[in-house]
Structure 1
């Protein structure tokens, strides 16, 4: 009875001493400084508020809104075969594996150690004495089954596991961001392919009309109202027109190669691409609750949130290192110093075992733990500021694309008026030239302006399609589900089509 009381008193005293010593290393004064933005209170501009009641949310597979089956198939091909996405998936598997490693630390750690030695025992009157082992050679073998279980009293292992899981979430959202970037790159290159084909139509139409003007100049010379100078002037632009066609065909081939590379395929796959057939119906609206609902599912924003959570857990891990660590240790072993090589596996070996807690207490470490906590706190502050920066940049990106779309819509109207004027001027100049009322230069000037306006029209339409894709990407690329869309009144969507110049 007295012995039990004495043992309890010694243990209590020892714990009191350890508690006192633990005060030698403390974490006071090391706290995070950064504050995360309240994204629900960020001010949105008039452009975003106006877009609130225009049209619908982007859905999954947002590129299907362009109505081109070939584009749909090519995006799916790129998502299946892109090396960039494969690398992002590998990084995710790596992060998940590391999370599994952290989680395994919660379980008891059991290991088996065994050694087999052929040993010569010296004849030593001081250490071994004149015993039976003196000046003998035999097998000195041991085996031990050990168990170590970290009780995790301060949550260090738990926080480390949660941090690893948060980093795995970061990797998952970065994989989604890589897929979104790939989709946008494929759509942008595909729109450029459509624009190159439209340019080729214009260049071929220009060549055809220049050839018709040359034929007309020859007819005028034949009936005596033309001159050889007019024929020379009509012939002069033809080589450059042929060169422009060849240049555009080169751009088409290069863009096909680019699309093949984005899909992780060889140039032969890109050569199979036919002329795009793009049309766009509708533009995404923005939710009434801005910007939390607007930006809450963007992959980069989600990744930064998980990064903040991971670094917060890193602080908890660093703080737990300031406290005593208590483990439960047990072992079971056997040893043999004489006999055969495997004698320690038989009944002739000596069995030993033990079980009990172990405690390690930091007393003095030269500032290492405070340094690690300071680093973890700074990493948290950095993650918070990166989140704030990403959120502000995302809101700016949405506003920029809405402004750009509005501007392009207005430009389409102006370019349409300019194209009508250029068409009328060319028709009048051509008719006046036929009647001999003007010279060839007037027709050439009017024709050049017409083709410039046609090409400008195609550029504006391509820019509109690209800006729409960029806006979908800014909104998360269809990551939002249908039931997360706005309840505001829907208006009829403005149809945007990449027109071809054949109607001129």
Structure 2
């Protein structure tokens, strides 16, 4: 008896001693090679410039708009897409816990009672009654099994599960970043639309005063009905611009409500009062180029996918090798309940089991396993290419965003000068018209030019802030905060 137990223990110890050999390639995190060749585009004097300092994880607060900051905070707490991404992450964690359970022994407890009677003509009756009468059979015990991870199959599966959890986490980070960017963009667009409304209303007042002046001049005989009609048409044309802007404003408020998981028009009272377009300071920190891979969720996700694909190769290689499972049971069996606790009722069994892939469906397993390995190697190759593409696209997006930010500032500066000159021209032409030295067509021309330049200036001012939000989105800043 003791010799059997000793032999079983030695066999288990030998199997355990073999554990720890892990087949397949170990994952090495890729290092982007493009960082050393990239630098921010030079900026002109007087413009907000990009500097290589740490990215503010709460960049939206740098706009100095309390309403924007409050909306961003609420969006991070309430957004449905972010909640779904969080749920997917929790599901991935649950799958990881299931897979990790394979590293531990499986222990089952059993208990049963049977009232039975065997055939008198069949096999021997273990009850000793020769099949002449029924008997009771009481069973109880514990059984366990554990796969000795000789080749690291289970370890690689846990490694792949960890990488899949990381993929889900980066998906959530990506959704969070998108929510931040969209909230800021919608808010800036709303304020820009409200400013455009103010410009149109201001020009409408000017047009109405021109119409009144023209009517007075008709009474005095220095203007014609044609000029009155032209002035009235100008008023109607400017009034027609109000409705689309009002519609756009309502839609943007609803878009913000959707991002905050609130009903339509829930933010109408809060946001209906016009406010300036949020503006940024003179310095825009964009971080070090080498840190971009650590900030962008899509790059981190691509790296995690590559990690999972690499671990899957080890799992496929481990399937070529035998699997050894240690199993055993310890229990009690008796025909009388009162005997179930006696020493003689004990039973046990221990020993390793070996399974080797040979045939499946009449085919050699080697061909199937080789195909599975080649498939996983193909997945790893594809994931590696996808990582390189993701990194390259990230650099392009950052560079394009920087160029757009600087171009939008130059356009805004030029339009500011255009508005100043148009305003001076309108004041001058009004004086000349009142004096009768120019006709009303000149007034219409100059006023339309001013309206167009003011509308373009409002749009470009909003575009500067929008392009900055796009820049921070491309830098991957925000989800850390």
- TM bracket (short chain): 0.7 to 0.9
How far is 1:125 from its partner? 5.7
How far is 1:435 from its partner? 1.0
Ranges in structure 1 where 5+ consecutive residues have no aligned partner: 16-26, 482-504
Q: Single out whichever of 50-59 and 186-195 deviates more from structure 2.
A: 50-59
CA deviation vs aligned residue, 1:420-444 (integer Å, no higher than 9, x gap) = 3322322222222111112111101
Distance 2:287 2:197 in 1: 41
Secondary structure in 2 aligned to 1:275?
coil
2:241 corresponds to which of 225, 240, 244? 244
1:359 corresponds to which of 351, 354, 360? 354
Q: Single out whichever of 417-426 and 318-327 deviates more from structure 2.
A: 417-426
Asked whether the equivalents of residues 324 and 353 of structure 2 are also in contact (C-alpha less than 8 Å), the reply is yes
CA deviation vs aligned residue, 1:210-236 (integer Å, no higher than 9, x gap) = 110011011212222122222222122
Distance 1:480 1:211 in 2: 52
Q: Within 5 A, what are the aligned runs for 1:21-420?
A: 38-41=31-34, 44=37, 47-48=40-41, 54=51, 56-124=53-121, 127-128=124-125, 132-271=129-268, 272-273=270-271, 274-277=273-276, 278-286=278-286, 290=289, 292-336=290-334, 338-339=335-336, 345-347=340-342, 350-365=345-360, 366=365, 367-420=367-420
Asked whether the equivalents of residues 43 and 406 of structure 2 are also in contact (C-alpha less than 8 Å), the reply is no
Secondary structure in 2 aligned to 1:181?
helix
Asked whether the equivalents of residues 109 and 141 of structure 2 are also in contact (C-alpha less than 8 Å), the reply is yes
Distance 1:35 1:55 in 2: 28
Asked whether the equivalents of residues 260 and 270 of structure 1 are also in contact (C-alpha less than 8 Å), the reply is yes
The 3 A distance-change label for structure 1 pair 56 and 208 is farther
Distance 2:421 2:126 in 1: 118
How far is 1:118 from its partner? 3.4
CA deviation vs aligned residue, 1:439-496 (integer Å, no higher than 9, x gap) = 1111011101100000111111111111101111111114689xxxxxxxxxxxxxxx
Which residue is equivalent to 1:471?
471
Asked whether the equivalents of residues 115 and 142 of structure 1 are also in contact (C-alpha less than 8 Å), the reply is yes
- Larger relative contact order (C-alpha < 8 A, sep ≥ 6)? 1
Secondary structure in 2 aligned to 1:58?
coil
Distance 1:480 1:457 in 2: 34
Asked whether the equivalents of residues 141 and 344 of structure 1 are also in contact (C-alpha less than 8 Å), the reply is no
Distance 1:205 1:234 in 2: 16
Which residue is equivalent to 2:20?
none
CA deviation vs aligned residue, 1:131-162 (integer Å, no higher than 9, x gap) = 51414333344334101122212222222112
CA deviation vs aligned residue, 1:247-284 (integer Å, no higher than 9, x gap) = 32222111111101001112243212243441211343
* TM-score, normalised via structure 1 length: 0.82
RMSD: 3.1
The 3 A distance-change label for structure 1 pair 345 and 86 is farther
CA deviation vs aligned residue, 1:189-219 (integer Å, no higher than 9, x gap) = 0011011111110110121011100110112
Which residue is equivalent to 1:454?
454
Distance 2:243 2:292 in 1: 45
Asked whether the equivalents of residues 295 and 477 of structure 2 are also in contact (C-alpha less than 8 Å), the reply is no
Which residue is equivalent to 1:22?
none
Secondary structure in 2 aligned to 1:153?
coil
How far is 1:286 from its partner? 4.7
How far is 1:130 from its partner? 12
Q: Single out whichever of 239-248 and 120-129 deviates more from structure 2.
A: 120-129
The 3 A distance-change label for structure 1 pair 344 and 100 is farther
